[in-house]
Copies of this chain bind each other. A is one copy, B any other.
């Protein structure tokens, strides 16, 4: 694929645009393993920033990392009935090891509850050992036939938290706390504000009592299930005999949670902010926040321009992730285009005349309000304003995404015909009443491909939520948010 061919416009074919962006920004590449992608260094650097931020938030709330086995005996996966029913069709199974057929096949983890609980059971004797707050960064395999980079792949990277508590209330509080951490991370770091809430019985995690989810809206007005947090009740502790002695000296099963977010977040980042040129990265998750592109013809020019570029880099290096692109094999125009395609927030161009005038050209990847995209500035002035500019861009991206989400959200809708029309045209989030019946969920999905993303948390609910179910007209039990989703 030629690197200067234009992308398919986002508004013309969102799906084609997405695939082209992730490939041409060098986030991923295809592999000889069907459904498995390689995460290239630029994509992995974004993942490292995501990991660093989330890991810090997990540790600040008392969680510790550990590492559990990749391979799960089939019999363990089968212990929790709903769980195996949900995951069995997606498993990759090892039947041969060391040249021999195995007596019991081993499943590559599609999630780790079934191996974590039999092990952690041994670490819990009494209430003194609770809460047990564990997280794992790991690879996961789920057999998928229709794959899309980051959004749905045979193998992906994620973190999975697994916690045990003495009471139902504590487990519920933990599940809610982790949902809040994911939401805060998406807002503060990703500039990708989600609607949060609870999943319906039909949509919840296989084996959970309750599933909570963060659902940001992509630029095609679809929802992305971007992170989930599950209150597992006592389902897994009963299946795996995880008991403890209470303070009163009795025996009870622990109350557990699990919660996860994956490399899918990178797909969300792309679909939230990108444009027809390519990737746009919020500064906090940009591996390179500022790229300095020196412009020169002669070798004398080269020396003086690179000296200035290096001086700027050194001034910024402490607080900003900055790179000088000193490759002699590309001309400046090609470099500009490459870094725009890769979503670097700010470019500094510096040529011989800039050096002579003590100035630099500051070019923004994206402009908000009436700011200029390209501004010549004194070198020290530019250095002094860059951190603030990155913060402004971070905030601007968040505001833009929030504004877009709300512009494409519909509240107070009572007419199912109108509902179907919106879903078949622009799409978006439609808040309606719902009777609580799975038949209505199925009917709406069959009619429109939309599903209930969440029963929204209080702060997302409408002031005047309709009191009738959008599908059957019976009394509503909950306001719900419908959308087509990834």
Question: Which A positions have Cβ atoms within 8 angstroms of B?
Answer: 29, 31-33, 36-41, 43-45, 47-48, 64-73, 76, 88-99, 105-106, 108, 115, 118-119, 122-123, 128, 134, 138-139, 141, 143-145, 154-155, 157, 329
Contacts and interface: CB of A to CB of B under 8 A. Distances in A.
A71 B67 CA distance: 20
A28 B72 CA distance: 18
Contacts of A139: 70, 138-139
A69 B105 CA distance: 21
Contact of A64 (B44, B64, B72, B119): B44
Given A31-B115, A69-B31, A108 B94 contact: yes
A76 to B, nearest CB: 6
Nearest to A100: B143
Contacts of A134: 41
Contacts of A44: 64-67
A66 B38 contact: yes
A41 B59 CA distance: 12
14 contacts: A33-B73, A36-B70, A41-B64, A43-B66, A44-B65, A69-B155, A71-B141, A71-B155, A91-B98, A92-B96, A93-B97, A98-B143, A98-B144, A139-B139
B32 A76 contact: yes
B98 A96 contact: no
Contacts of A66: 38-41, 43-44
A435 B141 CA distance: 50
A94 B93 contact: yes
Contact of A95 (B90, B91, B95): B95
Contacts of A138: 139
Given A67-B38, A93-B97, A33 B105 contact: no
B36 A69 contact: yes
Contact of A71 (B29, B36, B40, B47): B36
Contact of A92 (B31, B88, B106, B122): B106
A82 to B, nearest CB: 18
Contacts of A90: 98
A438 B239 CA distance: 56
Contacts of A36: 69-71
Contacts of A64: 41, 44-45
B119 A38 contact: yes
Nearest to A36: B69
A93 B92 contact: no
Contacts of A47: 67
B33 A69 contact: yes
A1 to B, nearest CB: 11
Contacts of A71: 33, 36, 92, 141, 154-155
A348 B104 CA distance: 50
Contacts of A69: 31, 33, 36-38, 155
B119 A73 contact: no
A40 B118 CA distance: 14
A158 to B, nearest CB: 12
Contact of A33 (B115, B128, B143, B329): B115
Given A32-B76, A33-B73, 20 more contacts: A29-B119, A29-B123, A31-B68, A32-B115, A32-B118, A32-B119, A33-B71, A36-B69, A36-B70, A36-B71, A37-B69, A38-B119, A43-B66, A44-B64, A70-B139, A71-B92, A89-B98, A94-B94, A128-B329, A139-B139
Contacts of A145: 98
A260 to B, nearest CB: 17
A66 B71 CA distance: 23
A284 to B, nearest CB: 19
A95 B96 contact: yes
Contact of A65 (B33, B48, B70, B329): B48
Nearest to A105: B96
A366 to B, nearest CB: 26
In this complex, the member of A36, A67, A68 whose beta carbon has the largest number of chain B beta carbons within 10 angstroms is A67
